[in-house]
Amino acid sequence: MRRQQVAAAAGAARWRGDGGGGAATAWWWVAAVVLGHLVSSARAGLLESNPGLAYNFYQKSCPKVDSIVRSVTWAQVAANPALPARLLRLHFHDCFVKGCDASILLDNAQSEKKAGPNLSVGGYEVIDAIKTQLEQACPGVVSCADIVALAARDAVSYQFQSSLWQVETGRRDGNVSLASNTGALPSPFAGFNGLLQSFAARGLNLTDLIALSGAHTIGVASCSSVTPRLYNGNATNVDPLLDSAYAKTLMNSCPSSSASGTVNLDGRTAVKFDSSYYTNVLNKQGTLASDAALTQNAAAAQMVQDLTNPFKFYAAFSMSMKKMGRVEVLTGTNGQIRKQCNQVNSS
């Protein structure tokens, strides 16, 4: 516990600075991209050892990989604004279970895809569409794991029309996918210590926990993930960490403990990737119990306050996405390059 407190304090000091929120203007956006890329590159060797990934890994073997992934992803996001959240969640859920190896895409009988936490994960059709085009352009070269990482970045970046973070490539695809391994995924009901431990098990720290939680600025949650904060059986019983007015908003979408609908994770700007999530959390308007948990530790709460500033949020998110993308990756001759993302190569 003492180590967690020391790490938390160190992480808070790293991000402490002038507060300030507000919408991300074009100036903020350009500055955030530049700083995020520079800081990410400069600190890469300090954060952890490089696992064998590289920028422009496919420069010679598939030079159009970035443009193909971006073109397919942006076209689909333009038609379906729910896709950025889905593809970002797909990437998270892949990396948190046996690393970023596209194991979540496999369709075997007991695959990760069949586990409860993954039943609401989507975006598979985008990955398949990208894979189809890449197999035509450069057969057997680009891994499904890299496609997942690139598509998540490009889907979120669509609103900016510019890449929010850099993606290292060179991952290879795993051969094992088991629903029983999904216990590694953070729970929407987790308290602060549980979240910190879940991230630490993946080599991620407090800074990463706070920055990556910002993904909840887009997307939806099932009512079953929210109603324990609203009801005890048939009786109303609102979580004291939840704003009473916002609780009523949630109840309108989830009118009983057995409601089967969904609610927006960000009640202010549901389809806009911005820093409003952190303002929500500070105002006790985080949708999930795990969102509210971020204010139950002093160092974490300070980081939440800092990341209400969009400039700091984009920079922090960029760094932590790069770090998460390195979790337990397969490189070199490990794993394989799948011909179809939903099944292991037969030979």
Per residue in 239-291, pLDDT (tens digit) is 999 999 999 999 999 999 999 999 999 999 989 999 999 999 999 999 999 99
**Per-residue confidence (pLDDT) for residue 51, from 0 to 100:** 74
Please tell me whether 186 is known to bind a ligand. Answer: yes
Instruction: Tell me if 184 sits within 8 A of 118, measured CB to CB.
Output: no
User: In DSSP terms, which residues pair with 231 in a beta bridge?
Assistant: 236
d(CA 248, CA 245): 5
User: Any idea where the domains of the chain sit in the sequence?
Assistant: 2-214+302-324
Whether residue 269 is annotated as binding a ligand: the answer is: yes
Listed as ranges, residues in the chain with pLDDT below 50 are 1-28, 30, 32, 34, 38-48
- Residue 216 in marked binding region: yes
22 annotated ligand-binding residue: no
- Whether 93 is a known active-site residue: answer yes
Quick one: pLDDT at residue 30?
44
∠ CA 6-12-15, nearest 5°, is: 145
Best CA proximity match to 216, nearest among 163, 262, 165, 270: 270
Active-site choice (86, 93, 98, 284)? 93
- Is 103 flagged in the annotation as binding? yes
**Which tokens hold the place of 323?**
């770090």
Is residue 220 within a helix (H) or strand (E), and if so which, with residue range? strand 220-222
| Residue 48 annotated as lining a ligand binding site | no
- How confident is the model at residue 166, as a pLDDT? 94
Domain 2-214+302-324 part of CATH 1.10.260.40:
no
